[in-house]
Amino acid sequence: MAHKSLADVFVDGARKGFNIGVSSILPNVLMAFAIIQILAVTGLLKILGNLFTPVMAVFGLPGEAVMVLISAWLSMGGGIGVAASLYSAGTLTNSHVTILLPAILLMGAQIQYMGRLLGTAAVQTRFYPILFGICIANALVAMLIMRFFA
């Protein structure tokens, strides 16, 4: 490690970034775009959007934004991908994306992290519900706060 030049260190990190990009971000984002396309062509996106309009309005967001949160819960990359997809379709504006970004991370990838974090650290399973609840509450509060900045 001591013999590496800073350029080598940077290249190592950039390589990690490439691998994450190709093996994780690309498939996750592709899946998110595919899901949104399925929801769009079947008309389900519109239905979901209408259904969640009153709830999401609290956070200054259109109903369709609920899809960002649902997919973020399964995978952060998915949530980001859905947000990008809805943005390019004109459903979400710059302010909407700004409101959603912290929430995507705060409640992101919970299903994966249940195993990778709570399982690995051997957290007692009786605390799982409150841990999930805290993350979702964190995300909701963050959206309310971001309304003032966005």
Partner 1 sequence: MNTEKTVTNVQPDVKVPIAGYIALIFAIIFFSGILGSAKGWLSAFDFNVINGKFGLIQAAKPVTFIGKGGVGAKAGFLFALSLIPSVMLALGIVEVVEHLGGLKAAQKLLTPILRPILGVPGIAGLALVSSLQSTDAGAGMTRALREEDVITEKEKTIFCAFQFSAGAPITNYLSSGAALFSFLTVPIIVPLGLIFVMKVVGANVMRLYLNKVVKEDI
Chain residues 63-122 in contact with partner 1, contact rule CB under 8 A? 75-77, 80-81, 83-85, 87-89, 94-95, 97-98, 101-102, 104-110, 113, 116-118, 120-122
Among positions 28, 61, 67, 73, the unique one binding partner 1 when judged by CB under 8 A: 28
> Closest distance between partner 1 and the C-beta of residue 62, in Å?
15
Asked if 34 interacts with partner 1 (CB under 8 A), we say: yes
At its nearest, how many Å lie between partner 1 and the CB of residue 140?
A: 10
Could you write out the DSSP letters of every residue in the chain? -TT--HHHHHHHHHHHHHHHIIIIIHHHHHHHHHHHHHHHHHTHHHHHHHHHHHHHHTTT--GGGHHHHHHHHH-HHHHHHHHHHHHHTTSS-HHHHHHHHHHHHHTTTHHHHIIIIIITTT--GGGHHHHHHHHHHHHHHHHHHHHHH-
* Identity of the residue, 54 or 126, whose beta carbon is nearer to partner 1 in the bound complex: 126
Hey, which residues between 41 and 60 contact partner 1 (CB under 8 A)? none
Of 47 and 137, which CB lies nearer to partner 1 in the complex structure? 137
